[in-house]
Chain A
Amino acid sequence: MKAEKDQKSENKIKKAAFGNALAKGDIWVKLSTVIMGAGYFARKQFVNGILMTAVQIGFILLVVLFGVPSLSKFDTLGDVQMEQTFDPLTLQSTMNDYDNSFMILLTSVITLFFIFVFILIWIWNIKLVYQLQLKKERGEHINTFREDMRALVNDRFHITLLALPTVGVVLMNIIPILVLIAVAFTNYDQKHMPPSSLFTWVGFDNFKNLFTNSITISFGYAFRKILGWTLLWAVLATVTTFIGGILLAKLINNATTKWPAFWRTLFVIAIAVPQFVTLLLVRNFFANAGIVNTICSNIGVTGFLQNIGLVNPRLTYIPFLTDPNWAKAMIILINIWVGVPYQMLIATGVLMNIPTDQIESARLDGANKFQIFCKITMPYVLFIQGPALITDFVKNINNFNVIYLLTQDVFITSDQLLANSNAKEVDLLVTWLFRLTNEYYNYKMASVIGIIVFIICAVFTLLSFSRMIAGGREEEYR
């Protein structure tokens, strides 16, 4: 009974809103808005008080020493160009106190992020202090520091566990993503490379460029073409490897197949070889002067393909990786070869878990093997692997390795509008993005494309996940 009451009062305390806390709090709660540790000192939680105040002082120092110099230049991202003077007599060179736009951007974003986090902590702190006040008023027990610490390894262990990953996510994901988003609104490119030159805000100009198509800026055209191929590729690559994997697994698991373990091992070996080695080798096999072309021309395949019009009669080789259509088909075929073993392993696991009673009863009802495959096996596999398929789809949108390694330095586009935007027919958004940054230092457009890729992936993932998993479909299937 008492426990229940405790629970209720606990709930009430948790619901204490920030405004409420501020209005109804006593002098110590109000003082906590300025000195964050004040509320703890009043309740004799000295260690907590010192820690909170230390956090506050640390934050203020951080902002004043580190943030303010950058934030003050955040509106222009710096205006002092690097100047260097060299004295030929003493062989000494001196630099002026120049602004580095990127450092200003980076430190400003970090500072703004910390300010945001600090505001959350500040609000949370006031609520907490108010809770302490309420507890004190009711004469409830107030934890000592030691008890608070112990709680972190016991009933509040999830907080301890999540602390490290959260810090990691903030440092490795959130801050870089925020910087990336910010870069999309600047003119950070080869002409504006820090430290020797400054870059500044340009608003939505880069986004406009991406969707416009003038004579000189063919980005819009290139973007549409590449987006189309990216989506087509993602669908084809996912579907072909998925179906290929299931068929291969069925084949190996078939009762009439001899030495199934041997075959499975053989395919797994394909995984063991690093993918980029395989892809680079395959690229050489299918080169214009490569071994496959030599064989094809010796046995007359090249001539046959020329006769039926699949290969330009002017060529002495099959343009496996140099003609847009051939290259697209080859990329998908090679991807099947590289990707099927993975899918086979997954499908093997799933197929082994198909409830045999269903198949048994279907067979008794007179269903043939094909019907069983279509009506029982496939729906089951699709249900189990649905989320994995979506992940694969998103992964394929960003499948850098296969496309880049197979076509880089080999494929030359003959579409002049694409060429004018440094793109190729076989590019995915992500490989285009890579070359823009890596070869052309066009960070601003790369950021814009990065944001677009992110939105596309997010939309697809959310839509499909919600359709596949939401609405109690699990029960429906059972």
Chain B
Amino acid sequence: MKKKLLSLALAGTMVAGMLTGCGNKNTPSQPSQPQQSSAPEVSSQTPEVSNDDIIANLIANTNGTVQLTVWASEEDQEFTLGRIEDFKAQYSDVDFDITLGAKSESKAKDDILVDVEAAPDVFAFADDQIMELVAAGALQEVAATYTFDVKTANVAGSIEAATIDGKLYAYPMTADNGYFMFYDASVFTEDDVKSMDAMIEAAKKANKKIAMNVSDGWYIYSLFKGAGYDLTLNDDGTNSCTWNAAGATDVAQGILDLFATGVFVDMTDADQATAISAGTICACVNGTWRAETAQTAWGENYAATKLPTFTVAGQQKQMSSFSGYKLIGVNPHSKFVGWSMILAEYLTNEETQVARYEARGLGPANLAAAASDAVQNDPAISALAAQAAYATPQRVGNQYWVPAQTLGQILASGNSDGTDLQTLLDNAVDGITAPAQ
């Protein structure tokens, strides 16, 4: 008897569970509709209630300690800690308990994606991770701003990099994560650095090399995109790629020609650092993180500029690049989303960006901060700004990297198997556009 009762009870709960399961099935589609349409309404309402009132209201409604975890890079710890103290002082009515963790911006997603619910409330990350973070639901949409207007205060490219499907998902922090050309001004004139051919001539005379890590998807993009062959991301996370379209073999041949000179060499960032110090290379395509090495090695002759043009089937093509920004994001699973957003705003406002440039030499994304003389006169940062006109945000699906790396490796080693260039590009595009397994 008892057994029957038990099974009845079990069956009852199962049915109930299934009912709730079924009942919920309809709910997601319903609220998503009005939610989207209501979003503009709310933002149009915002001007009626002033932002100060909203923050005052938030302060009034905050009871107890606001516990937040913040991630910044190892090098940014001291600076960020100082800014957090200032933040606490500004909102002294609220009891904050803010923990600062160290995590490189380039590795942020590795840990966040493992368990989004346990990830920090506020974190810095490089903009190339934004799609995966948004897909994993790890970024709170910046639906409204409270202390300053993020969209107009920062350089357009950074906002573009922080926007997915028309929605802003992060706060631009720095605009210094792209690549450009470092060179030794004792080898090249300002005219030389306009085209790769002239640079190779000059370097040959000086018996030195020009380095670019072509066997890396991040850099090889520069050449194909520069020649007009596109790589774009589809909604489902796969890539569209035209690198095997008509005429693309000319680009591959152009790259082979560069390497055939023996002056243009494929080197990793670490090898470039050694080679700059050793004096074997006199120019390299790299980013602000190598500025110090180059400055130490070349002293007064240290210079930087946008990427040069290179020859594709007799024509000069301007090399493109990935623009790179560091952003600050807020975790939607945070218990204190409101305070996280206000802290994220604080860590990316004009004052903080100016201070960050002064303390750490990182190029600001904030327009007013970037307009200062100090920033304008920084060779690396102004080179990056000049390259910005030819740069595109990094919107690439995960399947791109390894096939592109291998394509670069084959071209850099002179296509020693003699594979037909069209086959080479077809294979690479097959891999790049493959659906994620």
Contacts and interface: CB of A to CB of B under 8 A. Distances in A.
Nearest to B15: A72
Nearest to B132: A190
Tell me the dominant secondary structure on chain B's binding face. Answer: helix
A196 B136 contact: yes
B374 interface: no
Interface residues of A, number: 65
B426 to A, nearest CB: 9
B436 A414 contact: no
Nearest to B280: A289
Nearest to A314: B414
Interface string B255-271: 00000000000011001
Interface in A58-110: 60, 63-64, 68-69, 71-73, 79-93, 95-97
Nearest to A210: B437
B428 A86 contact: no
A80 B144 contact: no
A324 to B, nearest CB: 11
B215 interface: yes
B403 interface: yes
A50 interface: no
B92 interface: no
Contact of B437 (A34, A79, A86, A209): A209
Given A64-B9, A89-B49, A419-B405, A190 B237 contact: yes
A163 to B, nearest CB: 28
Interface string B395-409: 000100011011111
A442 interface: yes
B206 interface: no
B17 interface: yes
Given A72-B14, A219-B437, A420-B430, A85 B332 contact: no
A80 B54 CA distance: 32
Interface string B133-169: 0011110110110100000000000000000000000
B198 to A, nearest CB: 24
Contacts of B46: 88-89
A86 B45 CA distance: 15
Contact of B140 (A93, A190, A191, A196): A93
Contacts of B138: 196
A58 to B, nearest CB: 14
A288 interface: yes
A191 B13 contact: no
B205 interface: no
Interface of A: 33-35, 60, 63-64, 68-69, 71-73, 79-93, 95-97, 189-191, 193, 195-197, 209, 215-219, 287-289, 312, 314-315, 409, 412-422, 438, 440-442, 445
Interface of B: 1-3, 6, 9-10, 13-14, 17-18, 21, 24-25, 27-28, 31-32, 35, 42-43, 45-46, 49, 54, 57-58, 61, 110, 113, 116-117, 132, 135-138, 140-141, 143-144, 146, 215, 236-237, 267-268, 271, 274-275, 332-333, 337-339, 341-342, 398, 402-403, 405-410, 413-414, 416-417, 424, 427-428, 430-431, 433-437
28 contacts: A33-B3, A34-B2, A64-B10, A69-B17, A72-B18, A79-B25, A80-B24, A81-B28, A83-B31, A86-B140, A88-B143, A89-B57, A91-B146, A91-B341, A96-B28, A97-B24, A190-B132, A191-B436, A197-B135, A217-B437, A412-B215, A414-B417, A416-B424, A416-B427, A419-B431, A420-B402, A420-B427, A442-B437
